[in-house]
């Protein structure tokens, strides 16, 4: 499949002139079946011409638009990264490879198509495979065994390897089916996540869903589709380490069960528990800002091995996923470890003072109203204190 670079504007850095066709040969991508008169079946593909006319593969305008969208996203891939951003030809070659792979992958997966975020998944895979790629010399100094091993890392086949790995990763792991394929599947994933959140931390679920009325769909889609690529900071080595663990866990799980999506649900829940104290003092807008700009640097400062702990705890929750009581009990342990700076309790015990978090059953209507009033008063006092402190500092 040729990438139609000639469909771009002539001043684009990716533009390449249309290859000169052979005599009496019209390039496949320039055919316009929509103008076919008296439609008949094509004996080569055994597909009615009406279906060919609706097939995206044959539509030049859609191909050009798809290529432009992918280029726009890849131009913004990993800002500041020297491998993808610069004036030299190597940076352009890296971006062109990624664009080519995404274009072909999108044409081969028309049911899903290209969606924003897939370029970042491929970008991280690309950086890891490129760092291991080698140029194999044409000399006779290499033994057959060495040549056989080095051929696995041959840079000539980098694009082929990337295409296969991307396709296997997003398809077999459940990432494509649950997060990218359709809005219905994505809503199902969000519903499943909310269910797990309720089982692990009832208070956190109550604060986000009921108290703040913060729809999970507003902030979670990026978490899901990018596999925490942005939430874990700008150090791509950290994201690579986390993804390595996800892939390893997927390999250990049964072929019929896709582990990565659920491991991702539990990882996000742990990230929320880490900022539980801040979320308790936030209004709707502040909570959105906190979730869309997750303070990973402070977490890494407190726990240098935070990503390792994050995956270990997520994996433990994943092993308990079929037992609600174990999820609840381990949720309490996570609160004691990551959110022990606050103590929240409903009912008569609210007057006692102790460290850690106490999680009880869902409160009654009267208790909710009483606690809402106390909660609002406490939050307002804390916000006023913050403003006074900022005023005094200035």
Please give the chain's pLDDT, 394 residues, in tens.
Answer: 789 999 999 999 999 988 766 555 555 444 444 443 444 444 444 444 444 445 544 588 899 999 999 999 999 999 989 999 987 889 999 999 999 999 999 999 988 999 999 999 999 999 999 999 998 877 777 788 888 888 889 999 999 999 999 999 998 888 999 999 999 999 999 999 999 999 999 999 999 999 999 999 999 999 999 999 999 988 999 999 999 999 998 887 766 678 999 999 999 999 999 999 999 999 999 999 999 999 999 999 988 899 999 999 999 999 999 999 999 999 999 999 998 766 555 444 444 333 343 444 444 555 545 555 666 656 665 665 666 555 555 4
Which residue carries 């539990």 as its tokens?
266
d(CA 275, CA 295): 8
Tokens coding 330: 């381990």
Domain 180-362 is in which class? mainly alpha
Total-model pTM:
0.76
Beta carbons of 290 and 276 less than 8 angstroms apart: no
Q: Show Cβ contacts of residue 8 under 8 Å, excluding neighbours closer than 6 positions.
A: 14, 15, 64, 67, 68, 71
d(CA 290, CA 293): 5
Domain ranges across the chain: 5-172, 180-362
Tokens coding 132: 């291991």
Nearest to 196 by CA among 220, 170, 168, 231: 220
Tokens coding 91: 């940076």
d(CA 306, CA 313): 10
d(CA 67, CA 61): 10
d(CA 124, CA 107): 21
Strands (E), the chain: none
Beta carbons of 343 and 354 less than 8 angstroms apart: yes
d(CA 67, CA 381): 53
In which region does residue 15 sit, left (phi positive, over 0), alpha (psi from -120 to 50) or beta (all else)? beta
pLDDT digits (tens, 9 = 90+) for 184-219: 999 999 999 999 999 999 999 999 999 999 999 999
Beta carbons of 52 and 42 less than 8 angstroms apart: yes
d(CA 231, CA 246): 16
d(CA 218, CA 213): 11
pLDDT digits (tens, 9 = 90+) for 44-90: 444 444 444 455 445 888 999 999 999 999 999 999 899 999 878 89
- 25-to-2, 17, 29, 135, 214 alpha-carbon distances in Å: 15, 17, 12, 36, 58
Of the CA atoms within 13 Å of residue 82, those in its CB half-sphere come to 0
Helices assigned H by DSSP within 118-255? 118-132, 144-150, 158-172, 175, 183-200, 202-205, 217-225, 236-252
Which residue carries 């209507």 as its tokens?
365
- 96-to-100, 123, 279 alpha-carbon distances in Å: 6, 12, 42
**3-class SS of residue 42:** strand
- Length of the chain (residues): 394
Q: Show Cβ contacts of residue 138 under 8 Å, excluding neighbours closer than 6 positions.
A: none
Tokens coding 28: 């496949």
Handedness of CA 194, 196, 202, 208 (dihedral sign): negative
């Amino acid at each position: 499949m040729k990438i139609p670079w000639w469909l771009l504007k002539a001043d684009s850095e990716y533009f390449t002139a249309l290859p000169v066709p052979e005599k009496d040969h019209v390039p496949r991508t320039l055919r316009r079946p929509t103008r076919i008169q008296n439609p008949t079946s094509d004996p080569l593909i055994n597909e009615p011409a009406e279906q060919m006319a609706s097939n995206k593969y044959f539509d030049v305008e859609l191909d050009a638009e798809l290529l432009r969208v992918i280029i726009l996203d890849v131009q913004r891939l990993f800002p500041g990264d020297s491998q993808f951003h610069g004036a030299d030809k190597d940076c352009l070659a890296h971006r062109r490879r990624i664009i080519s792979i995404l274009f072909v992958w999108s044409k081969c997966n028309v049911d899903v198509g290209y969606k924003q975020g897939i370029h970042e998944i491929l970008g991280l895979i690309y950086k890891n495979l490129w760092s291991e790629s080698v140029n194999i010399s044409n000399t006779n100094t290499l033994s057959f065994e060495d040549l056989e091993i080095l051929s696995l890392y041959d840079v000539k086949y980098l694009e082929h390897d990337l295409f296969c790995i991307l396709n296997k990763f997003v398809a077999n792991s459940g990432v494509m089916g649950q997060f990218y394929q359709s809005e219905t599947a994505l809503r199902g994933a969000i519903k499943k996540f909310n269910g797990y959140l309720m089982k692990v931390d009832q208070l956190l679920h109550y604060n986000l869903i009921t108290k703040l009325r913060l729809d999970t769909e507003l902030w979670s889609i990026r978490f899901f589709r990018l596999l925490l690529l942005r939430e874990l900071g700008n150090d791509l080595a950290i994201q690579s380490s986390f993804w390595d663990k996800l892939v390893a866990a997927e390999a250990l799980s049964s072929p019929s069960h896709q582990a990565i999506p659920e491991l991702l649900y539990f990882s996000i829940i742990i990230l929320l528990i880490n900022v539980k104290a801040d979320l308790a003092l936030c209004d709707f807008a502040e909570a959105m800002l906190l979730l869309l700009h997750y303070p990973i640097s402070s977490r890494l400062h407190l726990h240098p091995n935070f990503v390792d702990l994050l995956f270990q705890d997520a994996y433990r929750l994943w092993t308990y996923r079929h037992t609600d009581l174990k999820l609840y009990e381990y949720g309490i342990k996570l609160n004691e470890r990551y959110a022990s700076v606050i103590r929240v309790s409903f009912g008569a015990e609210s007057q006692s003072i102790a460290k850690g978090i106490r999680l009880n059953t869902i409160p009654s209507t009267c208790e909710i109203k009483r606690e809402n009033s106390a909660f609002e008063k406490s939050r307002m006092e804390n916000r006023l204190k913050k403003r006074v402190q900022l005023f005094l500092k200035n």
